Every structure is written in C-alpha cells, then in structure tokens.
C-alpha cells in the first residue's frame, strides 16, 4: 500500500472512532460540571414556592454550593448520575456532526480554488452540522436530564421517575411515542447552532487579532486565550436556549406524553422571564463556561495523543505485513 493510499484510508477507518473516544473521555472528566449546571437551571423554576404563607427559596444558589450539596446529600458518585446517556449522546452527536461537516465542506459549500475552506463557510458548516448532530442525539439528552434530576427528586420525597437508561427510553416511548423522544429538540438544536457559531467565529477572530496586533506567537498561549474568549461567547449565546431545553425536557408529563408545565419552548422562555426575571435564562452559566474551557484542550490532547499512537501502530503493522 502506497503512503498516499495509507493516508487516505486511515481517516476513513479511524476518524469517527477517535472522535467518539476523545469525546467520551472528555465527557467523563467534565460531567460533574454538566450535572451541576442542570441542577442550577432547574432550581427556582416558576419562582419561589409558597408553603404555609412562607416563601421557600431555592436550596442551592451557586455552582460550588450545588456541587458540594450533591456530594454531601447524595454521595460523590451521584456527580456522574446520567453519564451513560451522555456518552451515547457524544457518540451520536460527535460522529453525526463530523460526517455532516465533511460532507458540507467537500460537496455542498466547497473549498476555494487554492484549496482553503473560508472561515465564513466553516461557520455555516459548523452551525448546520452541529444542529443536525444535536437533532439526531436529542433523545439521549432527554434521558440524561431526567436521570440527572433523580437524586433531587428522591431527596424531595418524590417517587423515582426512571430507573436506568433502558427504562427511561422505554417509558418515554410508551407515553409519548417516537415524537416524545424528541421533546425539547427545538431549543436543543438552537443551542447547538449558537454554541458552534459563537465558538468557531470568536476563536478564529481572537486568534488572528492576537497574531496581527500583539507579539504573541502562534502557540499554546495564543490558542488558550482564543479558547477562553470563544468559550465565553459560546456560553453567552447558548445558555438561554440550554435553560429552556433543560426545563422542557425535565417537566412532568401526562399519560400521553404532553408537558404539564410548558406548552412549548416559547412558553417556557416567557414563563421563566416573567416569573424569575431575565437572568433566569443564565442559570448554570459558570459551569457551562468552565466546562467549555476544559473541553476544547482536553479533546485536542486526547484526540492528538490517541491518533499519533494508533497511527504509529498502524504504520508499524503495515510495514511488517509488506
């Protein structure tokens, strides 16, 4: 096999698997931040509740107190409650997004005559592929959020809603049919598109600004600063849709799978702002941003390390079989 054939075959065989593996490891490392974010986005839902004439404020108010409260009241392993559907989600989302992006880049949007893929096309391709991948993976997000809230439900004396991934999928399917599995997909897709837009656009803009206007070279410092800024913008753009998604997916449903709190994602948005104020749409912002800061370099490190290792193994194996 020639080097050209080997290099062309290698991505086709490995890219999907490597992306899924890197995303899975990153998910395992950062999942406590995701669980904390979900709990923060649900707290105070609908405003403070009245009990005997007294107003009951939300039990948790900040990121650290929420995470510590989970460890103290539910146990440290509960920080990873719901991680299994999250891994399923990343396998579907990362793979679907990668395949869609490459198809858009090579066959739909196209490269320029010099072989370069312009930034504006990359932004469009990233938004479309991210939205498509998220739509396909939306049922796993639904199950993940419901499992993440089980610990809180039990502390409040409520009966368990789901007992595991398989039970959650079958229960949702039985109550709402195929359509029920995609409850909350609209804000979910909006969030993915906005996060991809903010992340890619800001990262490229900040990196080129630093290279043109400062003495910082194209190194890890430059990429780190660009990542901090891109994560911030992506979190600002995506958190409101993420809050709506979480609340729509977590709401109780009737026997036909219809939501009992919100008629639609728009209704959820309006109710949240009216009852809790505009900044309720930014609940969970800090863990969202921190997770983005960690995920990008972690994904790059894992993907690069595993790719180089497997490529060396592949090349040594092909050399021995010649």
Q: The domain that contains 197 carries what CATH number?
A: 1.50.40.10
Domain extent, residue 231, equals 11-179+187-309
Say if 93 falls within a structural domain.
yes
Per-residue pLDDT of the chain in tens (322 residues, 90 and over written 9): 444 444 444 555 567 777 778 888 889 999 999 999 999 999 988 765 444 444 455 555 789 999 999 999 999 999 999 999 999 998 888 777 877 887 888 787 877 777 777 778 888 888 898 899 999 999 999 999 999 999 888 888 888 888 899 999 999 998 889 999 999 999 999 999 999 888 888 888 898 899 989 989 888 888 889 889 999 999 999 999 999 999 999 999 887 778 889 999 999 999 999 999 999 999 999 999 999 988 888 887 887 787 788 777 877 777 777 6
Residue 317 lies in a domain: no
Asked whether residue 287 is assigned to any structural domain, the reply reads yes
The answer to the question of residue 4 being in a domain is no
Q: What are the structure tokens assigned to 270, written together? A: 């309006």
Go through 279-307 and write b for each residue having 16 or more CB atoms within 10 A of its CB, e for each that does not.
Answer: ebbbbbbbbbbbbbbbbbebbeebbeebb
pTM: 0.86
In a domain, 5, yes or no: no
C-alpha 259 chain-centroid distance:
23
Asked whether residue 319 is assigned to any structural domain, the reply reads no
- As given in the structure block, the two tokens for residue 90 are 């990343």
The count of residues in the chain is: 322
First to last CA, the chain: 8
Query: Which residues have CB under 8 Å from 225's CB, separation 6+?
Result: 206, 210, 216
User: What is the count of structural domains for the chain?
Assistant: 1
Q: Can you give the chain as a three-state secondary structure string?
A: CCHHHHHHHHHHHHHHHHHHHHHHHHHHHHHHHHHHHHHHHHCCCCCCEEECCEEECCCCCCHHHHHHHHHHHHCHHHHHCCHHHHHHHHHHHHHHHHHHHHHHHHHHHCCCCCCCCCHHHHHHHHHHHHHHHHHHHHHHHHHHHHHHCHHHHHHCCCCCCCCCHHHHHHHHHHHHHHHHHCCCHHHHHHHHHHHHHHHHHHHHHHHHHHHHHCCCCCCHHHHHHHHHHHHHHHHHHHHHHHHHHHHHHHCCECCCCCECCCCCHHHHHHHHHHHHCHHHHHCCHHHHHHHHHHHHHHHHHHHHHHHHHHHHHHHHHHHHCC
Whether residue 322 lies inside any domain: the answer is: no
Please tell me the predicted confidence (pLDDT) of residue 107.
80
Residue 259 lies in a domain: yes
d(CA 56, CA 224): 42
Token pair 């999250």 is at which residue? 86
What residues are paired with 253 via a beta bridge?
259
């Amino acid at each position: 096999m020639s080097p050209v054939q080997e290099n062309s075959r290698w991505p086709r065989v490995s890219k999907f698997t490597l992306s899924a593996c890197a995303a899975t490891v990153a998910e395992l490392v950062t999942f406590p931040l995701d669980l904390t974010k979900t709990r923060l986005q649900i707290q105070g839902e609908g405003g403070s509740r009245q009990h005997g004439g007294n107003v009951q404020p939300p039990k948790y108010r900040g990121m650290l107190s929420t995470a510590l409260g989970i460890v103290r009241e539910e146990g440290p392993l509960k920080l990873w409650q719901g991680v299994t559907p999250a891994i399923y989600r990343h396998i579907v989302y990362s793979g679907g997004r990668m395949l869609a992006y490459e198809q858009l880049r090579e066959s739909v949007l196209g490269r320029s005559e010099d072989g370069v893929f312009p930034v504006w096309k990359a932004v469009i391709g990233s938004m479309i592929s991210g939205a498509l991948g998220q739509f396909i993976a939306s049922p796993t997000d639904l199950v993940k959020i419901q499992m993440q809230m089980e610990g809180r439900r039990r502390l409040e004396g409520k009966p368990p809603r789901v007992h595991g991934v398989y039970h959650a999928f079958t229960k949702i399917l039985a109550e709402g049919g195929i359509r029920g599995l995609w409850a909350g997909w609209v804000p979910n897709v909006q969030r993915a598109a906005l996060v991809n837009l903010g992340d890619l656009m800001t990262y490229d803009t900040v990196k080129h600004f630093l290279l043109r206007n400062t003495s910082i070279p194209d190194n890890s410092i430059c990429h780190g600063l660009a990542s901090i800024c891109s994560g911030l913008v992506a979190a600002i753009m995506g958190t409101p849709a993420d809050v709506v998604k979480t609340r729509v997916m977590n709401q109780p449903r009737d026997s036909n799978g219809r939501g009992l709190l919100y008629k639609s994602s728009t209704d959820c948005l309006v109710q949240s702002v009216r009852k809790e104020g505009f900044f309720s749409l930014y609940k969970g912002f800090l863990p969202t941003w921190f997770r983005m800061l960690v995920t990008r370099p972690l994904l790059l490190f894992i993907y690069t390390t595993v790719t180089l290792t497997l490529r060396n193994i592949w090349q040594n194996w092909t050399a021995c079989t010649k």
